[in-house]
């Protein structure tokens, strides 16, 4: 059996398995800004893998930290026991997050970070005597991973429609400053006393880099605060430098109550995520609990030693190389080059913020998404990794990207757009 044929055992996630297996595109190694294919072709990574390899690939310091940790303490349970790397890493994450955020609940993915944050919000409301607040509010076109909590508050129809969802969930309409006021309507409809939390991505990533209008996040913060509703920023994509700061909360100057993160937390080397809460949230839950376990939630691998070691080394690389500042400094050039695609074939919109950009293409008549997928395949075959979501090309290079590589990215995309029908 050809292990890559349709008989292959690997059931690929979020993949058109039949198309892939008919014409597999494989990656076999990576270094800094590049992937390499099994036949040795270099592919410039314009997507940080999947929005996650923010410091570039196979960085020596991180590799070494994982190697060393694996030989010293491969695994230790975090239930009723502890190990130093997890404590040290939580401290270091808290130190670069906004001031009040100093309680870090580790998970293994963004999806788990989201479901953990939703549970923390519900536990907090109960702890302060607001147990009737069980409603959760997301946003249309929001992506919050694939757990049942995440798909319920998420707004991506394809991810939801085949599954039963949590009850008591509402969705804000898509962006628009005045649309933040839709939250007031939802509050009026259900009563603030039934609503636990609102969750949004500060900049929506997976649905195509949707940048919030000026004042939108501030407005959400004002309304949620007024009504005793927690605000969760899902920063699985935006945390760890994408916008030139440790978090989008710092970039926008808006302080939520809980921040979820993953991906760049370990430079994607070892799976890890976290729900990071303000101290008062932890205190309310822990102080009000009966003696014993205060919060009945956790994963075998929460704070896994390898992930914690990888995370510690990753934060050192970010700091030593000034990568968040670098992203900030490169953002104007990135923006300028992204907008050179204005007028390129099929382009109907260009959006950018920090080192993220979206090039939205006009869908081909009767075949949504196909043109962008063809662009993705062609770009890959010609040495550039882009990401497509629907008819949008989404870009998010490692923060070590050079200006000449930014040129290569947009020149190649222009060429590809001229070539696809
Ligand atoms: N939340 C956001 C905003 C994301 O972008 C993602 C993944 O892209 C997730 C959650 C889910 O993360 P994971 O795929 O690690 O479960």
125-142 pLDDT, tens digit per residue, is 999 999 999 999 999 999
Regarding beta strands 258-261 and 230-234, do their DSSP bridges make them parallel or antiparallel, or are they unpaired?
parallel
Does ligand 1 have an atom closer than 6 angstroms to the CB of 356? no
Could you tell me if the CB of 114 is within 6 A of ligand 1?
yes
String of DSSP letters for 200-264: E-SSB-TTT-BPPPTTHHHHHHHHHHHTT-EEEEE-TTTTTTTTSSS-HHHHHT---SEEEE-GG
Mean pLDDT computed over 317-333? 98
**Predicted confidence band of residue 174 (pLDDT cuts 50, 70, 90):** confident
- Name the CA radius of gyration of the chain, rounded: 21
For 273-307, write each residue's pLDDT tens digit.
Answer: 999 999 999 999 999 999 999 999 999 999 999 99
Say if ligand 1 is within 6 A of residue 237 CB. Answer: yes
Pocket test for ligand 1, best of 54, 212, 262 (most atoms within 8 A of CB): 262
Q: Is 144 in the pocket of ligand 1 (CB under 6 A)?
A: yes
Kind of pairing between the strands at 34-36 and 29-31:
antiparallel
Q: Whose CA is nearest to atom 6 of ligand 1?
A: 145
- In which region does residue 89 sit, left (phi positive, over 0), alpha (psi from -120 to 50) or beta (all else)? alpha
The per-residue pLDDT for range 70-89, each reduced to its tens digit, is: 999 999 999 999 999 999 99
Task: Decide if 308 contacts 74 (C-beta within 8 A).
Answer: no
Q: What is the mean pLDDT of residues 37-54?
A: 98
Q: Is the pLDDT of residue 334 over 90?
A: yes
**Measured between alpha carbons, how far is 46 from 407 in angstroms, rounded to an integer?**
11
Residue nearest atom 9 of ligand 1, based on CA coordinates: 145
Separation between Cα atoms, residue 43 and residue 185, nearest integer Å: 48
Please list the residue range(s) of the chain that carry CATH number 3.90.1150.10.
17-55+322-419
Mean predicted lDDT score pLDDT of the chain: 96
CA dist., res. 146 & res. 90, Å (int)? 25
For ligand 1, say whether the CB of 143 is within 6 Å of any of its atoms: yes
Residue 360 Cβ < 6 Å to ligand 1? no
The candidate with the shortest Cα–Cα distance to 36, out of 49, 50, 51, 26, is 26
Model confidence pTM above 0.95: yes
Q: How many CB atoms lie within 10 A of CB 98?
A: 19
Q: What is the Å distance from ligand 1's center to 234 Cα? A: 8
Tokens of 76: 């230790």
Average pLDDT over residues 339-368: 97
> Of all atoms in ligand 1, which is nearest to the CA of residue 204?
3
Q: Where does CATH 3.40.640.10 sit in the chain? A: 61-320
Which CATH number applies to 17-55+322-419: 3.60.10.10, 1.10.760.10, 3.90.1150.10, 3.40.50.300?
3.90.1150.10
Interatomic CA distance for residues 29 and 18, integer angstroms: 24
Which tokens in the block code for residue 93?
């994450």
CATH architecture of 61-320: 3-Layer(aba) Sandwich (3.40)
């Amino acid at each position: 059996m050809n292990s890559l044929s349709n008989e292959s055992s690997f059931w690929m996630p979020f993949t058109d398995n039949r198309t892939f297996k008919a014409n597999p595109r494989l990656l076999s190694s990576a270094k800094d800004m590049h992937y390499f294919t099994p036949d040795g072709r270099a592919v410039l990574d314009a997507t940080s893998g999947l929005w996650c390899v923010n410091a570039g690939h196979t960085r020596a310091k991180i590799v070494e930290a994982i190697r060393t940790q694996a030989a010293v303490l491969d695994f230790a349970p975090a239930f009723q026991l502890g190990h130093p790397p997890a404590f040290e890493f939580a401290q270091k994450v808290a130190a670069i997050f906004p001031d009040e955020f100093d309680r870090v609940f580790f998970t293994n993915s963004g999806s788990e970070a989201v479901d953990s944050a939703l549970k923390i919000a519900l536990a907090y409301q109960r702890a302060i005597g607001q147990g009737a607040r069980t409603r959760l509010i997301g946003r249309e076109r929001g992506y919050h991973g694939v757990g049942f909590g995440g798909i319920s508050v998420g707004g991506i129809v394809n991810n939801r429609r085949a599954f039963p969802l949590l009850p008591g969930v509402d969705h804000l309409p898509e962006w628009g400053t005045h649309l933040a006021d839709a939250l007031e309507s939802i509050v009026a409809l259900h009563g603030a006393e039934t609503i636990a939390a609102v969750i949004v991505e500060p900049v929506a990533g997976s649905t195509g880099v949707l940048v919030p209008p000026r004042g939108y996040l501030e407005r959400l913060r004002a309304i949620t605060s007024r009504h005793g509703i927690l605000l969760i920023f899902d920063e699985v994509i935006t945390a760890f430098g994408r916008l030139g700061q440790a978090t989008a909360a710092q970039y926008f100057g808006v302080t939520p109550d809980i921040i979820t993160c993953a991906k760049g937390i370990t430079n994607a080397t070892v799976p890890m995520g976290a729900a990071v809460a303000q101290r008062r949230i932890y205190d309310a839950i822990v102080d009000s609990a009966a003696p014993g376990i205060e919060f009945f939630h956790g994963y075998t691998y929460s704070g896994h030693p390898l992930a914690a070691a990888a995370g510690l080394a990753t934060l050192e690389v970010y700091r030593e190389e000034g990568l968040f500042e670098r992203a900030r400094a490169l953002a104007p050039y990135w923006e300028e080059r992204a907008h050179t695609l204005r007028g390129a074939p099929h382009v109907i919109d260009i959006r950018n913020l920090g080192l993220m950009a979206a090039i939205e293409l006009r869908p081909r008549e009767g075949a949504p998404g196909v043109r962008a997928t063809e662009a993705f395949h062609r770009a890959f075959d010609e040495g550039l990794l882009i990401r497509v979501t629907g008819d949008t090309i989404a870009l998010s290079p490692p923060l070590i990207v050079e200006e000449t590589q930014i040129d290569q990215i947009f020149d190649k995309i222009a060429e590809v757009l001229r070539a696809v029908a």
